[in-house]
Amino acid sequence: MTQSQDGGVSHARQLTVRAVIAGMLLGGFMSLSNLYVALKTGWSIGVSITAGILAYAIFAGLFKVKLVSRHFGMLENNAMQSVASAAGYMTGGGTVAAIPALMMITGTAMGGWQMFFWISSIAMLGVVMAIPMKQQMINVEQLRFPTGVAAAETLKALHGEGAGGAAKARLLGWGGFMGAVVAFLRDAKADWIKWNLPEKFQIPFVTLKGRPLADYTLSFEGSLIMLGAGAIMGFRAAWSMLLGAVINFGILAPLLYERGIIDSRLGYKHIVAWSVWFGSAMILTSGLLAFAFQWRTVLRAVKSVGSAFGGVKLSAEERTEVPMLWFFIGLAVLSPVVIFLEWFLFGIKIWMGAVSVGLGFFIAIVACRATGETDTTPTGALGKITQITFGALDPSNVTTNLMTANVTGGVGLHAADLLTDLKSGYLLKADPRQQFWAQFFGVIAGSLFVVPAYRLLIPTADILGTDKWPAPGAQTWKGVAELLAKGFHTLHPSAQAALAVGAVLGIVLVLLEKAFPKYKKYIPSPTGLGLAFTTPAFNTISMFCGASIALLMEKKNAAAAERTVVPVSSGFIAGESLIGVLIAALVVAGILR
C-alpha cells in the first residue's frame, strides 16, 4: 500500500464500483435482518464487521475461480463497510419506532414513496451533520469509537492472515442455512406443504388463574433468531429481560386478569396495553438520567465542535478531510427538504420543523460524542428529549411529537454511524471524503431494501402490537406520545401506579450502577428490564436461552466462543429474517398462503 505525502492518506483503491455494489447488496440484505429483528425484539444488530467478513470471503472465492482479476483490498473492504453500515442502519430512520408507533395510533400506513424520501432525507442530513465533528473527535481527541476500532482490527486480520476470516464466513453461512430452513419449515404454508414446525412450543398441563401459560405469552418460540439475538446481546441484558418477563407475564398479568383490569382475552396485545406504561417509564427515566450523567460529555461535544468553525489555517492532514463547505452546502440543501416533508407528510408547522432540525444538530453532537466514548448511541433517550420538547410546544398533537423525534433521533444515529466508520478509516489511512460519499450510497440502498420489505411485512396497522409483530420499540414511543397528549389522568389508576413505580425504579437502577460499578453485572439493566414489559415473554425466554448458551461456551473456551458465537448467531438472524421477508413476498404473489 502506497502512502501519500499529504497527511498519510493512502492512494490504494478504495471506493471502487465493486465495493459500492457489494456494500449496497450486503448492507441492504442486512437491513432486512435489522428490520425483522427490531420489529420483533426492539434490538438492532451490528452490520459493519459481519459485512466485512462476508465481502472478504466472497471476493476471495471469486478471485480463486478467476471471476475477478484483482484481490479485494483492505481499503476497498473498508469503503464497502461504510456503504453496508449506512444501509444496514436505515431502520434507524423511523421504520421500527416512530413510523409503526404512528401507524398504531392513527391506524393508517405511510405510502412507499413517502417513506422512502422521509427516511432517506433524515439519514442524509445525519451524514452531513457529522462533518464538523470528525476532525475534533477523531483526529484531535482520539475518541475510541470501539466498534470502529474493532472493524479496523478485523480488516487488518482478514487481509493480513486471512484464515480466520474464511472460517468465520463458513460459520456464518452454516448459521444462515439453519436459520433459513427453520423459517421455511415454520412459516411457509401452501397446499403442497403438509407439515410445519410449530410457531410456539407450549408448556402443557400448567395454568395460571385457570388459563394456559400460552395465554400469558409464557411459551418457547420456534425461532433461531431469538437465540442468536440473545447470544449477541450479552447475559446481563438477557437475564434482566427474563426477570422482567417473569414479573410482568408470570405475576402481574395473572393478578390483573383476576381483578378484571386486563382484557379477559389476554395475549400479548392486551397485556402490553397495561404493562407498556411501566416499561416506557423505566426506559424513559433511566435513559434521561444516564444521559444527564454525561453532562461533561455534552459540554465537551459542544465546545469541540465549535472549533471546527474556527477558520484557522489547515494542515496537510486537515486538507484531506471533508471540507466544511460541504457541511454548509448539505445543510442548505437537506434542511429545507426535511422541513418540507415534515409539513407535507405530517402537517407539522414550518417553524416547528425548523426547530426539529436545529435540535437535531445538537443531538447529533451528543450522539457522536457518546458513541465515541461509550460505543452506545443514546438515540432512544435523545428522541425522548424531543418528544418532551414538542409535548410542551404542541401538547395535543401526537403526530408532531413522534415525527419531530423521528428527525432528531435519525439524524443522531446516522451521524454517529458515519463517525464510527470514519474511525476505522482513520486507523487504516483511508480517504474520509470517499467514506463520506460511501454513506450516501448506503442510505439509498438501505431505503430501497427497507421500504418495500416494511410494506410487505406490515401492510396494515392492525398487525402491529400482536404476537407476530410486537414492535417493542414502537410501543414505547407510542406510549410517551399518548401520555404527553392525553395526560396522566386518562390512565387506569393501576397503570398510573405502574408508571410511577417504573419511573422511580429506572432512576434507582441507574443510581445503583453509578454507586456500585464493580457490581454492575448483578444489577438489572434498566433498559432490558423495561423492554421486557413491552416484549412477549416467548421472545425473552428464547433470548435468555441464547445468552446462556453463549455464556457457557465462553466459560468453557473463551477463544472458541469468540470465534463462533457472533458468526453463527449472525447467520441465524440473517438466514431466518431473509426467508421471512421472502415468504411475505411469495404470499403477496399468491405462491404461498
168, 567 in Cβ contact below 8 A? yes
| Beta-strand relationship, 200-201 and 207-208 | unpaired
Q: Which three cell numbers stand for residue 137?
A: 473527535
CA distance from start to end of the chain: 54
Q: Are 261 and 398 in the same domain? A: no
pTM of the entire predicted model: 0.79
Q: Which three cell numbers stand for residue 110?
A: 405511510
Q: Are 175 and 222 in the same domain? A: no
Q: Rounded to 5 degrees, what are φ and ψ at 10?
A: -75, 150
Q: Are 266 and 357 in the same domain? A: no
- Alpha-carbon gap, residue 391 to 240, rounded angstroms: 31
Question: What residues form DSSP beta bridges with 464?
Answer: 469
Residue whose cell numbers read 454513506: 439
Q: Are 311 and 442 in the same domain? A: yes
Nearest to 140 by CA among 344, 370, 372: 372
- Alpha-carbon gap, residue 83 to 72, rounded angstroms: 15
Q: How many domains does the chain have?
A: 2
Structural domain range at position 517: 200-287+478-560
Q: Is residue 225 one of the residues assigned to a domain?
A: yes
* pLDDT one digit per residue (tens) for the chain, 593 residues: 333 434 455 566 788 999 999 999 999 988 888 888 888 877 677 778 788 888 888 898 898 898 888 888 899 999 999 999 999 889 877 888 899 999 999 988 899 999 999 999 999 999 998 888 787 778 777 777 867 877 887 788 778 754 566 677 788 888 889 988 998 988 888 888 888 888 888 888 888 888 899 999 999 888 888 888 888 778 888 899 899 999 999 999 999 999 999 988 888 888 988 888 888 788 778 877 876 776 665 566 555 555 555 554 445 555 577 887 888 899 999 999 999 999 999 999 999 999 999 988 888 877 787 677 656 676 666 677 788 888 888 888 899 999 999 999 899 889 988 898 898 888 888 988 899 999 999 999 999 999 999 998 898 888 888 888 888 888 888 888 888 887 777 778 898 899 899 989 999 998 998 899 888 889 998 888 888 888 889 989 998 999 999 999 999 998 888 788 878 888 888 788 888 888 888 887 778 87
- Alpha-carbon gap, residue 574 to 55, rounded angstroms: 15
Q: At what angle do helices 558-588 and 537-556 cross, to 10 degrees?
A: 150
Q: Are 304 and 397 in the same domain? A: yes
Q: Is residue 408 one of the residues assigned to a domain?
A: yes
Write the DSSP assignment of 282-346 as a string of letters. Answer: HHHHHHHHHHHTTHHHHHHHHHHHHGGGS-PPP-TTGGGSPPHHHHHHHHHHHHHHHHHHHHHHH
Q: Is residue 550 one of the residues assigned to a domain?
A: yes
Helix (H) or strand (E) holding 211, with range, is strand 211-212
Q: Is 200 exposed, middle or buried (0-12, 13-18, 19+ CB in 10 A)?
A: middle
Identify the pLDDT of residue 178: 92
Q: Are 253 and 162 in the same domain? A: no
How many CB atoms neighbour CB 28 within 10 A?
23
Length of the chain: 593
Would you say the C-alpha torsion 580, 174, 441, 48 has a positive or negative sign?
positive
Boundary residue ending a domain (434, 464, 494): 464
- Alpha-carbon gap, residue 121 to 90, rounded angstroms: 11
25, 88 in Cβ contact below 8 A? no
Q: Are 90 and 59 in the same domain? A: yes
Identify the pLDDT of residue 300: 60
Identify the pLDDT of residue 2: 36
Q: Is residue 4 one of the residues assigned to a domain?
A: no
Q: C-alpha angle with apex 291: 285 to 293, nearest 5 degrees?
A: 105
Q: Are 272 and 380 in the same domain? A: no
How many CB atoms neighbour CB 514 within 10 A?
12
Q: Rounded to 5 degrees, what are φ and ψ at 221?
A: -90, 140
How many CB atoms neighbour CB 246 within 10 A?
16
Q: Which three cell numbers stand for residue 384?
A: 425522548
CA distances, 551 to each of 189, 232, 237, 289, 531 (Å): 36, 10, 12, 30, 21
CA distances, 13 to each of 10, 78, 80, 206, 586 (Å): 9, 11, 12, 63, 40
Q: Are 422 and 358 in the same domain? A: yes
Sequence-distant (≥ 6) Cβ neighbours of residue 585 within 8 angstroms? 456
Identify the pLDDT of residue 282: 85
Q: Is residue 380 one of the residues assigned to a domain?
A: yes
Identify the pLDDT of residue 549: 93
CA distances, 85 to each of 37, 75, 136, 152, 264 (Å): 16, 15, 22, 13, 44
Helix runs in 42-130, H state only: 48-64, 74-88, 98-106, 112-129
Q: Is residue 407 one of the residues assigned to a domain?
A: yes
What single-letter amino acid sits at 435?
Q
Identify the pLDDT of residue 165: 64
Q: Is residue 133 one of the residues assigned to a domain?
A: yes
Boundary residue ending a domain (437, 464, 491): 464
550, 561 in Cβ contact below 8 A? yes
Boundary residue ending a domain (464, 491, 521): 464
Identify the pLDDT of residue 372: 78
223, 244 in Cβ contact below 8 A? no
219, 225 in Cβ contact below 8 A? no
Q: Are 22 and 62 in the same domain? A: yes
Q: Are 444 and 511 in the same domain? A: no
Q: Are 277 and 361 in the same domain? A: no
Q: Is residue 67 one of the residues assigned to a domain?
A: yes
